[in-house]
Amino acid sequence: MGKANPYVHIPKESFPSWIWYAVECVALIVIAFLSAVQITNTFEGLTPEQHNYVITGIFASFFLVWYVLIRSIILKKKILR
């Protein structure tokens, strides 16, 4: 009972763990950018320069909230080990 079947595929041992971090980061980039554009489009009377700064600020706040608050405090997972 103590020996594992040699023909069983265990993803944790063969699949690189860094890919999950890359998938998480790409998903966060897509969600943050689309949300920032949609939120910024609701503001009226912004010049193109102000529009870009608001998009950048909202985009950065998504990263700050996700990686500093949610991931490190609530989920208690370290970003770098």
The answer to the question of residue 50 being in a domain is: yes
Task: Specify the number of domains making up the chain.
Answer: 1
Mean pLDDT of 1-19: 65
Owning domain of residue 42 = 17-74
Q: What proportions of the chain, in percent to the nearest 5, are helix, strand and coil? A: 65, 0, 35
2 — pLDDT class (breaks 50, 70, 90): low
Q: What is the per-residue pLDDT across 35-49, written as a single tens digit (0 to 9) for each?
A: 999 999 999 999 999
The answer to the question of residue 6 being in a domain is: no
Using alpha carbons, list the distances in angstroms from residue 38 to 22, 26, 60: 24, 18, 15
pTM for the model stands at: 0.70
Asked if residues 43 and 37 have their Cβ atoms less than 8 Å apart, the reply is no
The answer to the question of residue 81 being in a domain is: no
79 — pLDDT class (breaks 50, 70, 90): low
Q: What is the per-residue pLDDT across 42-78, written as a single tens digit (0 to 9) for each?
A: 999 999 999 999 999 999 999 999 888 888 777 776 6
